[in-house]
Structure 1
């Protein structure tokens, strides 16, 4: 009989009144006052409303004015001397009839008759500045298309006779744990080609709904010229990428998700912009500093992109308006703000470990960027109170996901990015028989109490070329040859078993939400590599092999079934409603860890070869029922546990001093979940 009587490991989770922040109180206060003053100034100048200020997309670009029965085009270009619209009607040459008039405040404007432009017409701008000129896409373009032959991007008039008629005008998300399925429309099909919004709606969305996830996080929606950038090098911020279809088709996809109770979150890129000049907004008016910092500060050397100057009112207007458009025009339910570390640190956080609070409160923090992020959260929640904002930050900057009312930046959640990095590090550097479970527990559960976090074992970051998915790290080359269920090799048993255990312990300890990247739930066998010169422009690795998931003779099928039931377990028991995750047992030699959350006990035996009978540890007294176990045959396990078995805590007052103990059979490399049915 084995006993694990280690008691509890104290959590390092900090209170909001963190004593470690006391030495930096003056800096924190000054930043907060500066941000508050900026917001009050903008509201005072704009009828008391940030939404009124966020009108860049309403003012600039090409608009049809029904009241005047005519078109108007406006652009903002401080360094420009002349701007022309060039199109088929001008033979793509400059024409005085299409020259914009220079107005005050660096604005250019011209009105055109109703007959001048028609739906789907193509056009560009010719911008002239002192000493040069160049073709440009309007900064507020809402539709940009690429010529299949020349590969040139051009703005397109989008003015259909009838606007999309929303079936769900006001979506109210279900009151469920936040379970996010991270997706990419283009690579979602099994075919070796770029998928569309319509195909995603009809073929992929049903798979996500069936898997039990209630939110999709859609990557690469903002227009980007280079497909292989995964949408991170944005060129036209107000345009939905046309390579996936039309605005109406994207709206239909969002509408269909809402109809099924699924939130649509969007990866928003406001941390930088593509440095392309013809397709993007870099050097739009001939200068580097219209939207971006001048000089080296305006260039991100690692990302080869341009860095916004958040201290400029015009940049704030541009970016805040961008958020407003996606909410009001497309009914997006939330944003994942990408690259926040890069935004708020002048060195972009490159090569830094962030081991001290001093890292967050030095002179190298861009307070203008912090101001923008705070304004962004204030704006989107004013527009839509149920809106979700998520911070993607690797630095651990305190308070990003704390409420504005408590001096935070106002994000609803932050991603616990260190967890996925830790899993990769663990698999790369340590054999699983040597995993230190107390360290694992610390990494999984150390979170600031005032901030809601979303955990994940892996995201798209771990699947991109240059890295590997967890399943590929676990299986190596065996992932291609040993995933048949009649294969009984130790490599297959280990890979399948640990894949399930890693995901279950990650979601079971998650703070307020969980994320999975498309296909990883069934152990997708390949990384993500978009077509490029290196791979002879092949789509082979920029797709998802769904057929593997539906083949009952493969372990991929079992992993998919496990994930579906794991998600169901979390939703059925509203696991995240109780944030208290209480450690019951950790035994390094036995490789056993157990904890309690929301009247459920989770037990993991990570030992590579030993199974334990009558394994005992402290637990809240009562009657428990086995409700889930990774060794279930349908999950690709060995079926060594009795389904629905009941367990009763044993009261021991003699040998160990008035303790309530659970005694369990723990098969090797197995996780089990017990639910408290009756307290004693």
Structure 2
């Protein structure tokens, strides 16, 4: 089959080998393949001749004519369908643009700025503005750019093949930011496929799945002070209190439409700031077609979802957070991706981003596909993506979803449905290497940025550096503490004494990792009930139990996380299709929960004893963990930098007031009641110790001095010695 036949059939592997200018018989020939054209001219030279029976137009030039021709010549053509005339500089007049070194790094999996070479890059070449497209699609017959600019005709702009790299590229002059495009791929087997750009940095709003050309950001960042402070942030010994949100359902307009990023900057940021949270965690905001997935089935890893505005609108939101002293964490999903035909799945007609073996490449439970972590270019795609969000959007950390599913080859699989690693074990070695590489890249390039693993198993050293044999995460969600604590709190108080160990068990493993204590979105969906509705008892007891639970979370070692709506005690489960139940903020009991969360955040930040030793056993001491009969816990939180800086934390998990309850204390003196969850300010019965109480020289529980306290029903007390 000759060049023309392959072009006409869309099977030419390297169109630059035939199109454009080529020497011919001591002169030159210029060829243009224009399937939609009735007539074509070489501007300022003359008409081109159609090769009979084809869509190829040619013109022969002698030496003198050729020497007068611009390096990047212009074509004029008349469209068949409407006889209109158009002109454009030929894409086939340009040399290869991607440096070999960049391609080499990408193929080795070491190009940490892959988004700057792949995808759609607006640029000026030889003074000519346009867009350079490039895509990794190895072992296919052809790749073309299609879009409004060529009538979505894959024969119009076939791309240049860059050899063994598997990358295809084409510079098209005259295109602009906002222009829509996709890649048309003719697979090795002859299947014609249309795909969105894996590296697209903007995509059309669902249900449209087209990629959009994106120009350089026009946002002028104002957060240089924040970034400099972040570089030196001692996060292990500082407060980290995270407000987890789903941007599409935090608030909505009356017609049910979403708030934009700029509207969220005006309303969400002050709400979070005034409550005293240090961070916002966004559920995934990468482009995704399915609202019901909450963002966890990503189709555009490099594209902020268009639901809430442009990429620069997201930058504005994050910038506004930083200017208000709030960090931004992003929920990130490298474990799996959906089977959407327009996106990553079987990108070249065959498995490319996913592992080819379904025993390693498919999530049976979720109906999704698993990345091939052992393939350099796939690993590069993900590592660069992590860095992209930090570098381009100033994200302060990544919460990595479903880490447990990545670590085990037999995760949620029956015997015979998984394949062992090369040592015969169940550990997913390639995924482990990827996680370590990602964490090392993030922490090396961006000091102060944190990574948090949602990991629910006993895998060791998740939050320890790779040189120690760890995975390299900054922190890990403490799923065990969360499940045990909620199970305990959902138990009727009369039976809690039989489950006292659920509150104390965490101490057996607490110091093995850097933990976050999460009450996340996963705990208020799928018939698990809202945080308030989980609590047993009558209405008063439910609110008291919830106040007690939140106080216990803030007293317990570990950083904190709470999902939106829980801060004012929604009665109903979270529904991603509707806004939070904001009218509840007019109800006193719900106001009380909000006041308590606000005071807990501010106390947590103000008291070094509550945050400085979240990961250090020297900052925690039991007073009494054995009073299961009365369901009471008491312990000391202590600052490591100043051991005398202590806070006593006491919890009565029954509705029975405990009068004259004696506890040992680490030092004599007067103790100030700095928080009482039963205060009437929060909606409680106002039982307590009149704001302060003095110790007595009565030895108790191994301490030289003690207090005789009133413990309120279903109440928590935080006491601090007064100087």
CA distance in structure 2 between the partners assigned to 1:419 and 1:362 by the alignment: 32
Q: Which runs of 5+ in 1 are unaligned?
A: 1-41, 353-358, 476-489, 531-538
Equivalent in the alignment of 2:461: 399
Alignment of 1:494 onto 2:531: no
User: 1:658 Cα shift?
Assistant: 7.7
Q: 2:241 aligns with which of 179, 182, 185?
A: 179
CA distance in structure 1 between the partners assigned to 2:310 and 2:179 by the alignment: 14
Equivalent in the alignment of 2:142: 82
Q: Is the CA contact (8 Å cut-off) linking 1:77 and 1:290 kept in structure 2?
A: no
CA distance in structure 2 between the partners assigned to 1:222 and 1:329 by the alignment: 14
Equivalent in the alignment of 1:196: 260
Equivalent in the alignment of 1:305: 368
CA distance in structure 1 between the partners assigned to 2:252 and 2:353 by the alignment: 42
Alignment of 1:92 onto 2:156: no
User: 1:668 Cα shift?
Assistant: 1.8
Q: Is the CA contact (8 Å cut-off) linking 2:520 and 2:563 kept in structure 1?
A: yes
Equivalent in the alignment of 1:211: 275
CA distance in structure 1 between the partners assigned to 2:605 and 2:152 by the alignment: 57
CA distance in structure 2 between the partners assigned to 1:446 and 1:510 by the alignment: 13
Alignment of 1:414 onto 2:459: no
- TM-score, reference length from structure 2: 0.77
Q: 2:592 aligns with which of 558, 566, 571?
A: 558
Q: Report the secondary structure of 1:449's partner residue.
A: helix
User: 1:347 Cα shift?
Assistant: 2.0
Matches within 5 A, 1:42-441: 53-66=111-124, 68=126, 69=128, 70-96=130-156, 98-115=157-174, 117-129=175-187, 130-146=189-205, 151-159=207-215, 163-169=218-224, 171=227, 172-173=229-230, 176-191=238-253, 192-278=256-342, 280-349=343-412, 363-428=425-490, 430-436=491-497, 438-441=500-503
CA distance in structure 2 between the partners assigned to 1:190 and 1:589 by the alignment: 47
Matches within 5 A, 1:561-600: 561-574=595-608, 575-578=610-613, 579=616, 580-585=619-624, 586-598=626-638, 599-600=646-647
User: 1:563 Cα shift?
Assistant: 0.8
Equivalent in the alignment of 1:525: 571
Per-residue CA deviations over 1:47-80 (Å, capped at 9, x if unaligned) read 9xx9962232122111123354442111111132
User: 1:128 Cα shift?
Assistant: 1.0
CA distance in structure 1 between the partners assigned to 2:595 and 2:190 by the alignment: 64
Q: Report the secondary structure of 2:663's partner residue.
A: strand
Change (3 A) 1:636 1:362: farther
Q: Report the secondary structure of 2:672's partner residue.
A: strand
User: 1:159 Cα shift?
Assistant: 1.9
CA distance in structure 2 between the partners assigned to 1:222 and 1:131 by the alignment: 32
Q: Is the CA contact (8 Å cut-off) linking 1:83 and 1:108 kept in structure 2?
A: no
User: 1:168 Cα shift?
Assistant: 1.2
CA distance in structure 2 between the partners assigned to 1:294 and 1:137 by the alignment: 24
Per-residue CA deviations over 1:232-284 (Å, capped at 9, x if unaligned) read 11111111111111001100000001111111110010000111121x20011
Alignment of 1:660 onto 2:705: yes
CA distance in structure 2 between the partners assigned to 1:140 and 1:333 by the alignment: 22
Equivalent in the alignment of 2:665: 619
CA distance in structure 2 between the partners assigned to 1:547 and 1:446 by the alignment: 42
Change (3 A) 1:629 1:444: farther
Change (3 A) 1:439 1:188: same
Q: Report the secondary structure of 2:458's partner residue.
A: coil
Give the root-mean-square deviation of aligned CA atoms. 2.6
User: 1:131 Cα shift?
Assistant: 3.2
User: 1:643 Cα shift?
Assistant: 4.1
Equivalent in the alignment of 1:10: none
| Higher mean displacement: 190-199 or 50-59 | 50-59
Q: Is the CA contact (8 Å cut-off) linking 2:287 and 2:295 kept in structure 1?
A: yes
User: 1:84 Cα shift?
Assistant: 1.4
User: 1:451 Cα shift?
Assistant: 2.2
User: 1:573 Cα shift?
Assistant: 0.4
Change (3 A) 1:286 1:628: same
Q: Report the secondary structure of 2:152's partner residue.
A: coil
CA distance in structure 2 between the partners assigned to 1:113 and 1:193 by the alignment: 37
Q: Is the CA contact (8 Å cut-off) linking 1:349 and 1:395 kept in structure 2?
A: no
CA distance in structure 1 between the partners assigned to 2:583 and 2:331 by the alignment: 27
User: 1:88 Cα shift?
Assistant: 1.4
User: 1:328 Cα shift?
Assistant: 1.1
Structure with the bigger RCO (C-alpha within 8 Å, sep 6+) is: 1
Equivalent in the alignment of 1:466: 527
Change (3 A) 1:607 1:309: same
CA distance in structure 2 between the partners assigned to 1:441 and 1:426 by the alignment: 8
CA distance in structure 2 between the partners assigned to 1:251 and 1:492 by the alignment: 43
User: 1:631 Cα shift?
Assistant: 1.1
Give the structure with higher Rg (CA): 2
User: 1:322 Cα shift?
Assistant: 0.6
CA distance in structure 2 between the partners assigned to 1:89 and 1:652 by the alignment: 85
Alignment of 1:506 onto 2:553: yes
User: 1:290 Cα shift?
Assistant: 4.1
Per-residue CA deviations over 1:130-184 (Å, capped at 9, x if unaligned) read 131121101211111135xxx2311011226x62111113522476401111111
- TM-score, reference length from structure 1: 0.82
User: 1:674 Cα shift?
Assistant: 0.6
User: 1:111 Cα shift?
Assistant: 3.4
Q: Report the secondary structure of 2:346's partner residue.
A: coil
CA distance in structure 2 between the partners assigned to 1:425 and 1:640 by the alignment: 27
CA distance in structure 2 between the partners assigned to 1:332 and 1:391 by the alignment: 16
User: 1:351 Cα shift?
Assistant: 9.3
Per-residue CA deviations over 1:26-66 (Å, capped at 9, x if unaligned) read xxxxxxxxxxxxxxxx99x859xx99622321221111233
| Higher mean displacement: 519-528 or 432-441 | 432-441
CA distance in structure 1 between the partners assigned to 2:450 and 2:711 by the alignment: 40
Q: Is the CA contact (8 Å cut-off) linking 2:145 and 2:158 kept in structure 1?
A: yes
Equivalent in the alignment of 2:74: none
CA distance in structure 1 between the partners assigned to 2:109 and 2:222 by the alignment: 25
Q: How many residues align?
A: 588
Q: Report the secondary structure of 2:146's partner residue.
A: strand
| Higher mean displacement: 136-145 or 402-411 | 402-411
CA distance in structure 2 between the partners assigned to 1:67 and 1:212 by the alignment: 50
Q: Report the secondary structure of 2:716's partner residue.
A: strand
User: 1:125 Cα shift?
Assistant: 1.5
Per-residue CA deviations over 1:282-324 (Å, capped at 9, x if unaligned) read 0110002444343332110111100011111111111111112
CA distance in structure 1 between the partners assigned to 2:579 and 2:272 by the alignment: 16
User: 1:106 Cα shift?
Assistant: 4.8
CA distance in structure 1 between the partners assigned to 2:150 and 2:200 by the alignment: 20
CA distance in structure 1 between the partners assigned to 2:123 and 2:176 by the alignment: 14
CA distance in structure 2 between the partners assigned to 1:351 and 1:672 by the alignment: 48
User: 1:415 Cα shift?
Assistant: 0.7
Q: Is the CA contact (8 Å cut-off) linking 1:402 and 1:450 kept in structure 2?
A: no
User: 1:406 Cα shift?
Assistant: 2.4
Q: Is the CA contact (8 Å cut-off) linking 2:489 and 2:549 kept in structure 1?
A: no
